[in-house]
Chains A and B, each alone.
Chain A
């Protein structure tokens, strides 16, 4: 009898409809209006790489130890350095990071002994050309400059 009642009066379907009706409550809206409203990514987010510079004197923190290049599974980091004859230290000349092959695993920043290389919260990495994905030292130090939209 109960089954007959439920079948005739479509109880199961109305039960489902009641769920969808409840979920129309505006507090369940999760849509992000992306270009205007930018998402707050986590502090540890692994996004665009950055080569940190010393804020006091503008010199790079990188000691050209090449550990990041060795740690990278895709070997996409190329570190160029030359020995300074006066201080007998290796100094960074070039730093190339091929973002098109990067999978943001974070092994390079784990390997960095001086926290020079870091994966940052920047996530807008689209470029018009394939070459634009290969970041040189200057680009890595300045970071990407995504367009900010306002509504």
Chain B
């Protein structure tokens, strides 16, 4: 009798990524497998590290604004809003009402664009090829609004410290309203494709469960937290940029599994349309704000966080009474959410790893910064 036969199984270490298309960028996951079961994972990040925070220390406050767009590049407008709010708080100024309402509209449009990209790629990972084309078709309409408004589609640099640079273009309201009318039936269409689809349900239900308490332990925020039944949304909890004026709901799930996160994000898109519709109706007239020529805040530090499409996006800015920030620390939602990957994957199957990475909605530009 030989010591080892082919019937004996051993643990297998498998490298997933960094070029794997389902890791949504350059994430490398080292998987420890027992057959098809995952015993443990380790994430290797840093392939997209550009040192954004360090760059911030060598730029003036205005000059750093385009760089923050390049962290979470599918939700660049949200990044810009967070940074502008942080510096505005440091300077003790506030954007005029017209600028605030415009910011809300563009941020919510960006939330829709981000969720659409998530839905398309997530479905693609699971094996549903169709939704990605429909999602990108609708996302194109959002990007056209961005292009018309500020001249760039992805890394928009739409907001400036103290308000806006660009006045709304003619036909902005009509275009946004037309988008809202067009978009809601499309969400129903995606739901028709996926929600009841037996393969979709079988692949997602009960996969990657993360309870509300575990979410809080890891500091996970955003749709992942809300899918676990925790009603926490910074737009309601600490309203910024006039979010308290709008009537919307926080969609939550119960089980905290991948399917619930899908449902929550679909609901969030509908709620975003609801906010946009209310905001477009009441764009006040008036100034759009002016960027101070020289920004030289008094010594101090400030932390401002907003509800980005992926979770809590925080900026911690320290000023030393010069034109350049002493330190800019970013609390990126993707980076924090990625920590929960190991807990969600452990005990699952290899095929579920792809689903769970997809459902976390990470953007590696933001994880590595």
Contact = CB atoms under 8 A, between A and B. Distances in A.
Contacts of A46: 150-152
A1 interface: no
A107 B63 contact: yes
Contacts of B59: 73
Interface of B: 59, 62-67, 70, 130, 134, 137, 140, 144, 147-152, 155, 157, 165-166, 169, 189, 192-194, 196-198
A105 B157 contact: yes
A120 B155 CA distance: 17
B137 A30 contact: yes
Contact of B151 (A12, A16, A44): A44
Given A44-B169, A73-B63, A12 B196 contact: yes
A99 to B, nearest CB: 15
A104 B152 contact: yes
A100 interface: no
A30 B165 contact: no
A40 to B, nearest CB: 10
A71 B144 CA distance: 27
B66 A73 contact: yes
Nearest to B170: A43
A43 B335 CA distance: 37
Nearest to A105: B66
Contacts of B70: 103
A16 B67 contact: no
B264 to A, nearest CB: 21
Given A44-B166, A45-B151, A19 B66 contact: no
A110 B165 CA distance: 8
A23 B198 contact: no
A119 interface: yes
A15 interface: yes
A3 B235 CA distance: 39
Interface in A49-80: 71-73
A119 B66 CA distance: 16
Nearest to A41: B147
Contacts of B189: 19
Q: How large is the interface on A (under 10, 10 to 19, 20 to 34, 35 or more residues)?
A: 20 to 34
Given A44-B166, A73-B67, A107-B62, A12 B198 contact: yes
17 contacts: A7-B198, A12-B196, A12-B198, A13-B197, A16-B130, A18-B192, A19-B189, A23-B134, A43-B148, A44-B148, A44-B169, A46-B150, A71-B63, A103-B66, A104-B152, A110-B165, A119-B151
Contacts of B130: 16, 19-20
Contacts of B197: 12-13, 16
A42 interface: yes
Nearest to B195: A12
Contacts of A23: 134
Contacts of A16: 130, 192-194, 197
B267 to A, nearest CB: 19
A34 interface: no
A107 B157 CA distance: 10
A23 B134 CA distance: 9
A28 interface: yes
Contact of A19 (B148, B169, B193): B193
Nearest to B165: A110
A106 B157 contact: yes
B286 to A, nearest CB: 21
Interface string A116-131: 0001000000000000
Q: Which 8 A-B pairs have the closest CB atoms?
A: A105-B66, A73-B63, A44-B151, A46-B151, A12-B196, A42-B147, A42-B148, A16-B193
A45 B66 contact: no
A89 B251 CA distance: 63
B196 A15 contact: yes
Nearest to A12: B196
A104 B147 CA distance: 13
